[in-house]
Amino acid sequence: TLGCNWLVPESGEVHQRGRCLPDSLIRREPDAGDTLAREKLVPTAGALRRLVFQLAELGLPIDPWWRRDNGLAFDLLSSYSAGEKVTIGHAGGVITIDLVES
């Protein structure tokens, strides 16, 4: 698990997959078998939760990728396990982070 302490809506949208809002923003993540990347994923997901909390506190909109086109999404990938170089950046609402550098 990602160690989330947020409440999960009882009847959320299908893309939430039983996850809280911040964790449901993660569109792609390393395979469960990639233990090194998964170790880096937990603190990165925690930072994502803090970010979403701060955005909400500021009253800024948080439109998830599964709710609208070009909505906010995070691809938390590992260049060690992805089989290709991960380019950090953002495009079309998707923020890509290489867990090797997180």
pLDDT tens digit sequence for 15-35: 656 778 888 899 999 888 888
Question: What is the per-residue pLDDT across 37-72, written as a single tens digit (0 to 9) for each?
Answer: 889 998 999 999 999 999 999 999 999 998 899 999
- Mean pLDDT in residue range 82-89: 82
The total number of structural domains in the chain stands at: 1
Structural domain includes residue 94: yes
Residue 5, domain member (yes or no) = no
Inside any domain, residue 1:
no
**Contact call for residues 31 and 81 (beta carbons, < 8 A):** yes
- What pLDDT is attached to residue 8? 66
Confidence bin at 9 (pLDDT 50/70/90): low
Sign of the alpha-carbon torsion through 33, 34, 39, 42 = negative
In a domain, 6, yes or no: no
- Exposed, middle or buried, 99 (CB in 10 Å: 0-12/13-18/19+)? buried
- Print the domain residue range for 88: 14-101
